[in-house]
A and B are shown apart, each in its own frame.
Chain A
Amino acid sequence: MEVDMMKKVPVREQDPKVRATNFEEVCLGYNKEEAEAEASRCLNCPNPKCVEGCPVSIKIPQFIKAVKEGNVGEAYRVIGESSSLPAICGRVCPQETQCEGKCVRGIKGEAVSIGKLERYVADTAREMGIKPAPPESKNGKKVAVIGSGPSGLTCAGDLAKMGYDVTVFEALHEPGGVLTYGIPEFRLPKERVVAKEIDNVRALGVSIETDVVVGKSVTIDSLMKDEGFSAVFVGSGAGLPKFMNIPGEQALGVFSANEFLTRSNLMKAFSEESNTPIMRPKKAVIVGGGNVAMDAARTALRMGAEVHVVYRRSEAELPARVEEVHHAKEEGIIFDLLTNPVEILENEEGWVRGIRCIRMELGEPDESGRRSPVAVEGSEFEIECDAVIMSLGTSPNPLIASTTEGLDVNRRGCIVADESSGKSSKDGVFAGGDAVTGAATVILAMGAGKAGAKGIDEYMNA
């Protein structure tokens, strides 16, 4: 295979026109030949910048070298030292601002396609039936993990490897957190990828009890006092949706992205087979510019809607992964940037008929360096639509903090925890992921899960 050293080996994707009408995965991934060709672009830098950009410091040049040599088992082992969910991270990490953003290849040409290679390794290892090995012996100590998102799964997996007896408590009926209820099938296949990664965690000896809402069915204190758990890791995420508090938000056809995505992903409403109803809009306006907004937009599109993304800043500030924005555009999603909603308009029966917006311009940079948008007076206009999906970010659920005495939270409702150990203000309780940082990323949650496992192990042996 001919390789242009300046450019990434292109990855095969479903044609935008075709995929806009189905829920199959968009990106098809590299095959062996493509992966090995791409791996040959890596310079195996003695002082690899990519590793610095990786929140969990995967030994990137080592695993890429193994790919180049055709040794997927070895590549999987190298990644496994640092990451427990490679098939997921390879698909959803914002590589452009992490490893690939730092890659020296990127100075003159395009960075090495590290994410696609990671995905190739994880998918191939799965096809080959390579599984993580359970620990040889157990130490008999019980640890509870709350939440089965990436932070909880990682913490549970790492503790199980150290020999702990780990039970994960999950509020929903399916494990996986955002990976299951939030990120759509066409980006992260549930059966083929997410369920398999969860099976791998189970294979380590972790037991997952669904349908348990900590703070309601049980409390952290009851787990520790009555059920014999010596330590608890809280990885309960940031699941509370935000609304804008503008007039008309209670109209029929206004949804939080969480509701829309949960109906589609967790309850499978995208499929005709599901009994769960979902509105299939004709013309939908998605408010927001992050990954959540892109996922809601592309889900609505696949249900047959014309979709507008309304975002108050400009394209450069869109917080979504570059690949998602690119894919969304290819699929025909219309971006109304520098635009902010002021009111949702209803018809006589209370259904959404449109949204009134105002144009924005970017002002001076604020303390954070971001240029904050200011409304342009007199620029209001209406977009006709029958659904509005609010994707304005999420915050942590107060349920656990409010039912656990001595567990401190900050002003934003995030649990206060030490970054390197996950240690919270309450003895024996550790926390990490979105519950601590507010809505962030899969890899940061995973990293926090690892730190928490280490912190718990130190605590138990102190």
Chain B
Amino acid sequence: MFKILEKQVLTESPVIFRMVVEAPRIAKSCEPGQFLIVRADKDGERVPLTICDYDRDKGTIEIVIQVIGAETDKMSRLEEGDGFADVVGPLGKPSDLLELPVEELKKKKILFVAGGVGTAPVYPQAKWLHDHGVDCDVIIGAKNKDLVIMEEKFKDVCNLTITTDDGSYGRSGMVTVALQDLWNDGVRWDHCVAIGPMIMMKFVCKLTKELGIHTVVSMNPIMVDGTGMCGACRLTVDGKVRFACVDGPEFDGHLVDFDQAMARMKLYRTEEGRLYLREKEGATHHGGCGNCD
């Protein structure tokens, strides 16, 4: 069992919460950009979650979870003192950016674009850069004020821009609008990292391609094992098949076939996907998530 040492609810609707979990082996070996596979209990599904922070000395890792279905809902009902049946990792490759020599990083102008729950995994990267004396810009996008998470933590480690779709906090509009505005104001970047919903990453990439900014995205396709064994997570990148769990999760965003990746998410996840399966073969998915009925 992997014990939950700390739990904090970040937003209420949708529910997003943060947990600190005891996992000494993982805390010792993980790097920013990697992820975990977590099972709530012995009948749980294998849910991929990004490592949002870690403490090597204490042997703990931090995750931030948004409730979107049966398993994430089950996790939201675990409390401090409870535990996860399984936590496997660290999986995937560490972020390429952080492999560069610090001197080289210092010469770069780096931008992170974070959307929704994707904000959480940006944090360890920004913090890592800050700890190594490298400045960076971060744009956080959320639907509205209530959904902006981790603002205080970010403020300490980067130049932060917040934007909300409805303008209830920070700037008004999607992250792409904020990015374009900053660019129009004369801000320039050599490197962009975008983490968030696929649709957000797709549009960020469209814009950064036009602006000529090299962009890395963190892909979150459907996964099973997370070790390269099943191929469920396969994507097309630069015309070649790649497994997100072992070749990624980070890829050159200008080379990812987003439309295909988004279509593949339909398989079990979207309403169409579920309805499709339900129509075709009856009630095969009954997560009780409230989305389907």
Question: Which residues of A pack against B, CB within 8 Å?
Answer: 171-173, 210-213, 216-218, 239-241, 243, 245, 249-250, 252, 255-256, 258-259, 262-263, 267-268, 273-282, 303-304, 349-351, 386, 397, 399
Please name the residue on chain A nearest to B25 by beta carbon.
A217
Count A-B contacts at CB 8 Å. 117
CB atoms of B231 and A256 under 8 A apart = yes
- Does B9 lie at the interface of the complex (its beta carbon under 8 Å from any beta carbon of A)? no
Least CB distance, B25 to chain A, in whole angstroms:
5
Least CB distance, A284 to chain B, in whole angstroms:
12
- Does B199 lie at the interface of the complex (its beta carbon under 8 Å from any beta carbon of A)? no
CB atoms of B277 and A279 under 8 A apart = yes
**A212-B85 contact given A239-B228, A259-B231, A275-B45, CB 8 Å threshold:** no
Across-interface contacts of B241 in A (CB, < 8 A):
243, 245, 249-250
In the complex, A239 Cα to B71 Cα: how many Å? Answer: 26
Please name the residue on chain A nearest to B281 by beta carbon.
A280
CB atoms of A258 and B29 under 8 A apart = no
Complex A-B, nearest 8 residue pairs according to Cβ-Cβ distance, in ascending order: A259-B230, A280-B281, A277-B268, A256-B231, A239-B229, A211-B88, A173-B86, A350-B263
**A171-B227 contact given A243-B241, A250-B241, CB 8 Å threshold:** yes
* Set B224, B260, B276, B287: member contacting A275, Cβ < 8 A: B287
Across-interface contacts of A262 in B (CB, < 8 A):
224-225, 229-230
- Does B246 lie at the interface of the complex (its beta carbon under 8 Å from any beta carbon of A)? yes
In the complex, A243 Cα to B46 Cα: how many Å? Answer: 23
Contact string, B6-49, partner A, CB cutoff 8 A, digits 1/0? 00000000000000000001100100000000010001111000
CB atoms of A267 and B25 under 8 A apart = no
* Set A173, A268, A304: member contacting B281, Cβ < 8 A: A304
In the complex, A273 Cα to B287 Cα: how many Å? Answer: 10
CB atoms of A277 and B277 under 8 A apart = yes
Across-interface contacts of A249 in B (CB, < 8 A):
241
Across-interface contacts of B280 in A (CB, < 8 A):
280, 282, 386
Least CB distance, B256 to chain A, in whole angstroms:
13
CB atoms of B231 and A258 under 8 A apart = yes
Least CB distance, B141 to chain A, in whole angstroms:
28
CB atoms of A216 and B224 under 8 A apart = no
Contact string, B263-280, partner A, CB cutoff 8 A, digits 1/0? 110111000100011001
CB atoms of A258 and B229 under 8 A apart = yes
Least CB distance, A152 to chain B, in whole angstroms:
16
Please name the residue on chain A nearest to B288 by beta carbon.
A275
- 13 A-B pairs (CB sep. < 8 Å): A171-B227, A218-B29, A258-B229, A267-B45, A267-B224, A273-B43, A275-B43, A275-B71, A275-B286, A277-B285, A280-B280, A350-B260, A350-B263
In the complex, A280 Cα to B277 Cα: how many Å? Answer: 8
**A279-B85 contact given A243-B241, A262-B230, A267-B224, CB 8 Å threshold:** no
CB atoms of A252 and B266 under 8 A apart = yes
Least CB distance, A398 to chain B, in whole angstroms:
8
* Set B45, B46, B230, B284: member contacting A280, Cβ < 8 A: B284
In the complex, A262 Cα to B70 Cα: how many Å? Answer: 20
CB atoms of A216 and B284 under 8 A apart = no
- Does B89 lie at the interface of the complex (its beta carbon under 8 Å from any beta carbon of A)? yes
> Is the contact region of chain A dominated by helix, strand, or loop, or is it mixed?
loop
Across-interface contacts of B228 in A (CB, < 8 A):
239-240, 397, 399
Across-interface contacts of B86 in A (CB, < 8 A):
173, 210-211
CB atoms of A213 and B227 under 8 A apart = yes
CB atoms of B90 and A217 under 8 A apart = yes
**A252-B264 contact given A259-B224, A259-B232, CB 8 Å threshold:** yes
In the complex, A172 Cα to B228 Cα: how many Å? Answer: 12
Least CB distance, A218 to chain B, in whole angstroms:
6
Please name the residue on chain A nearest to B69 by beta carbon.
A275
* Set B26, B39, B46, B260: member contacting A217, Cβ < 8 A: B26
Least CB distance, B231 to chain A, in whole angstroms:
4
Least CB distance, B237 to chain A, in whole angstroms:
12
Least CB distance, B78 to chain A, in whole angstroms:
16
CB atoms of A241 and B230 under 8 A apart = yes
Across-interface contacts of B232 in A (CB, < 8 A):
255-256, 259
In the complex, A252 Cα to B231 Cα: how many Å? Answer: 13
Contact string, B192-236, partner A, CB cutoff 8 A, digits 1/0? 000000000000000000000000000000001101111110101
**A276-B45 contact given A245-B241, A250-B260, A252-B263, CB 8 Å threshold:** yes
Least CB distance, B293 to chain A, in whole angstroms:
16
Please name the residue on chain B nearest to A171 by beta carbon.
B227
CB atoms of A172 and B225 under 8 A apart = yes
- Does B148 lie at the interface of the complex (its beta carbon under 8 Å from any beta carbon of A)? no
In the complex, A210 Cα to B84 Cα: how many Å? Answer: 13
In the complex, A213 Cα to B285 Cα: how many Å? Answer: 29
Across-interface contacts of B246 in A (CB, < 8 A):
399
Across-interface contacts of A275 in B (CB, < 8 A):
43-45, 70-71, 286-287
Across-interface contacts of B162 in A (CB, < 8 A):
none
- Does B87 lie at the interface of the complex (its beta carbon under 8 Å from any beta carbon of A)? yes
Across-interface contacts of A351 in B (CB, < 8 A):
276
Across-interface contacts of A172 in B (CB, < 8 A):
225
* Set A212, A252, A255, A268: member contacting B25, Cβ < 8 A: A212
**A263-B224 contact given A239-B229, A275-B45, CB 8 Å threshold:** yes
In the complex, A240 Cα to B247 Cα: how many Å? Answer: 13
Please name the residue on chain A nearest to B44 by beta carbon.
A275
- Does B91 lie at the interface of the complex (its beta carbon under 8 Å from any beta carbon of A)? yes
CB atoms of A274 and B43 under 8 A apart = yes
